[in-house]
Amino acid sequence: MCDYGPMDTCDIIVIGGGAAGLMAAGQAARSGARVLALEKMDYPGRKLGITGKGRCNLTNTAAHAAFLKRFGSGARFLLPSLEAFDNRSLMDFFSGIGIGLVAERGGRVFPAGVRAPRVARALRAWCEGCGARIVCGCPATEIMHEGGRVTGVRCGQRAFSCRAVIAATGGASYPRTGSTGDGYRLAGALGHTIVPARPALIGLVTRERGLCACDGLSLRNCRARLLISGRERAEEFGELQIAGYGLNGPVILTLSGMAVDALLARKKVQVSIDLKPALSREKLHARLKRDIGSRGAEKLGSLLRGLLPRELVGVCCTQAGLKPGSPASALKQPETERLIDWLKNFTHTVTGHRPLDEAIITAGGVSTAEVDPNTMESKLVRGVYFAGEILDLQADTGGYNLQAAFSTGHAAGLAAAEALYGDSNSRFL
Ligand SMILES: Cc1cc2nc3c(=O)[nH]c(=O)nc-3n(C[C@H](O)[C@H](O)[C@H](O)COP(=O)(O)OP(=O)(O)OC[C@H]3O[C@@H](n4cnc5c(N)ncnc54)[C@H](O)[C@@H]3O)c2cc1C
């Protein structure tokens, strides 16, 4: 636990010691500013320390255009800060602070041979090495301002004066890591529009939940289609999991943002899973014919175990109206069609989503319309900057969200420090 220091006056206060805040604080301090980072938890970088299932998927090797596509409508806002500090720059940065990196499937970049907490510690050490002071156990409760300009930060009874504030408090998911939506209240009190927070990258609750004893069953190489009001809106290929409450796993997380928004708009949401995407209907017919030819005396349930995970055989028979106990050779044409329909369209009706607490990302936050994308400065209050997940900016899994936190943190830290040069009170003059 850190103690309060004597530094009640400084140039820049960074609120939040996560990925964005540590990057912002370090960059600003490196530029010569006196920087105080206030972190409400007992140590910084708690969320960073649990990312990527403990492995920390720091960024992605995707080229700029493909990278930006992952941010949907947020791409335009991210563009300048990503161009200024992109995935290559971030990889160089981490290599420079002693974290070797390795790119894996899908361009996902991970630290080589070290776990996520080690990355968080290295970032903290770099930040402090740049000269920033980190004060832990210090939740900011108000950003003070006067005449349209920031004047300081209040933490309960204690007030710190400064000339710039970088708000990097994260979103509202995984509150045990410190991100509890404080930033929305702080920014809202300054007059900023807060796009309502909602979960993104989240498991989906389905009507079919509990249909089978499949909790935790992983289905690889599936194609999942998201249907909204009966129309296909998105498609993903890869791995998904059947959970006790419904569906989860990488493919579902990617589809979940759109699904949650459609649920909020009270639209009908379904996920249709093609369990055999590599086999056309014709090929499936041929495969079944061959199987029945050689194993026709076996029970249908037993034959299906060659096509499906054991846990799904009962669900398949129930939903497709098949008799698992009858001989496979007794399968009639209409039953074969129903079986193939089921294999190509294992459909789930989405009735809800897991709570925001469990979301990998919070969608919504400070409206980017009120923030300068080059500097991250508020367009409403001079000297206030935003960085990271506090912004209404979100992407798919794959390292994109951390890159956005680092890019926006980098931009905010540099811009806040540079702005001090134009300030007659600055020690730079
Ligand atoms: C389980 C999980 C796994 C993830 N894995 C990945 C991954 O592998 N790759 C990827 O790209 N993204 C991943 N993400 C998303 C990624 O972690 C976040 O997008 C990123 O951490 C956001 O950084 P941030 O600095 O904006 O916010 P945070 O990392 O949440 O940091 C915000 C900080 O602000 C502090 N704070 C909050 N309020 C106050 C206050 N009032 N005063 C002072 N301090 C305050 C918090 O304590 C916290 O330390 C994952 C998320 C989760 C939940």
Contact between 139 and 167 (Cβ < 8 Å):
no
Confirm whether 191 is domain-assigned. yes
Q: Which of 333, 353, 373 represents a domain boundary (last residue)?
A: 353
Q: Does 34 sit in the ligand 1 pocket, CB within 6 Å? A: no
d(CA 304, CA 319): 14
Q: How far is the CA of 381 from the centre of ligand 1 (A)?
A: 24
Token pair for residue 148? 């349209």
**Residue 338: domain span:** 203-353
Q: How far is the CA of 360 from the centre of ligand 1 (A)?
A: 9
Contact between 140 and 182 (Cβ < 8 Å):
yes
Confirm whether 224 is domain-assigned. yes
DSSP category for residue 48? G
Q: Does 46 sit in the ligand 1 pocket, CB within 6 Å? A: yes
Pocket test for ligand 1, best of 14, 36, 90, 360 (most atoms within 8 A of CB): 360
Contact between 377 and 385 (Cβ < 8 Å):
yes
Question: Residue 347 has what pLDDT?
Answer: 96
Q: Does 178 sit in the ligand 1 pocket, CB within 6 Å? A: yes
Q: Does 20 sit in the ligand 1 pocket, CB within 6 Å? A: yes
Question: Residue 208 has what pLDDT?
Answer: 86
Confirm whether 287 is domain-assigned. yes
Q: Does 360 sit in the ligand 1 pocket, CB within 6 Å? A: yes
Confirm whether 279 is domain-assigned. yes
Tell me whether strands 158-161 and 149-155 are parallel, antiparallel or unpaired: antiparallel
Count other C-beta atoms under 10 Å from residue 42's C-beta.
11
CATH number at residue 398: 3.50.50.60
Question: Residue 423 has what pLDDT?
Answer: 52
Query: How many structural domains is the chain composed of?
Result: 2
> Are 209 and 194 part of one and the same domain?
no
> Are 166 and 256 part of one and the same domain?
no
Q: Does 15 sit in the ligand 1 pocket, CB within 6 Å? A: yes
Which amino acid appears at position 13 of this protein? I
Contact between 393 and 74 (Cβ < 8 Å):
yes
Q: Which of 353, 378, 405 represents a domain boundary (last residue)?
A: 353
> Are 164 and 302 part of one and the same domain?
no
Confirm whether 428 is domain-assigned. no
Q: Does 57 sit in the ligand 1 pocket, CB within 6 Å? A: yes
Residue given tokens 């499937």 in the structure block: 105
**Ligand 1: which residue has its CA nearest to atom 53?**
360
Most distant CA pair in the chain, distance: 90
Question: Residue 428 has what pLDDT?
Answer: 41
Confirm whether 426 is domain-assigned. no
Q: How far is the CA of 38 from the centre of ligand 1 (A)?
A: 15
> Are 305 and 293 part of one and the same domain?
yes
> Are 99 and 246 part of one and the same domain?
no
Confirm whether 427 is domain-assigned. no
Name the pTM for this structure. Answer: 0.92
DSSP category for residue 3? P
Confirm whether 364 is domain-assigned. yes
**Index of the ligand 1 atom closest to the CA of residue 389:** 26
**Ligand 1: which residue has its CA nearest to atom 37?**
169
**Index of the ligand 1 atom closest to the CA of residue 22:** 25
Question: Residue 422 has what pLDDT?
Answer: 64
> Are 326 and 191 part of one and the same domain?
no
> Are 41 and 130 part of one and the same domain?
yes
> Are 270 and 346 part of one and the same domain?
yes
Q: How far is the CA of 167 from the centre of ligand 1 (A)?
A: 13
Q: How far is the CA of 56 from the centre of ligand 1 (A)?
A: 12
Contact between 134 and 128 (Cβ < 8 Å):
yes
Give CA 406 to chain center in angstroms.
14
Q: Which of 337, 353, 369 represents a domain boundary (last residue)?
A: 353
> Are 44 and 131 part of one and the same domain?
yes
**Index of the ligand 1 atom closest to the CA of residue 38:** 43
Q: Does 36 sit in the ligand 1 pocket, CB within 6 Å? A: no
> Are 328 and 369 part of one and the same domain?
no
> Are 165 and 33 part of one and the same domain?
yes
> Are 27 and 165 part of one and the same domain?
yes
Q: Cα torsion for 88, 91, 97, 101, to the nearest 10°? A: -150
Report residue 166: phi and psi, to 5°: -110, 115
Mean pLDDT by 10 residues, the chain (429 residues): 54 98 98 97 98 97 96 97 98 98 96 97 98 97 97 95 97 97 98 96 90 80 97 96 93 95 97 97 95 92 94 93 94 95 97 96 97 98 98 95 98 97 49
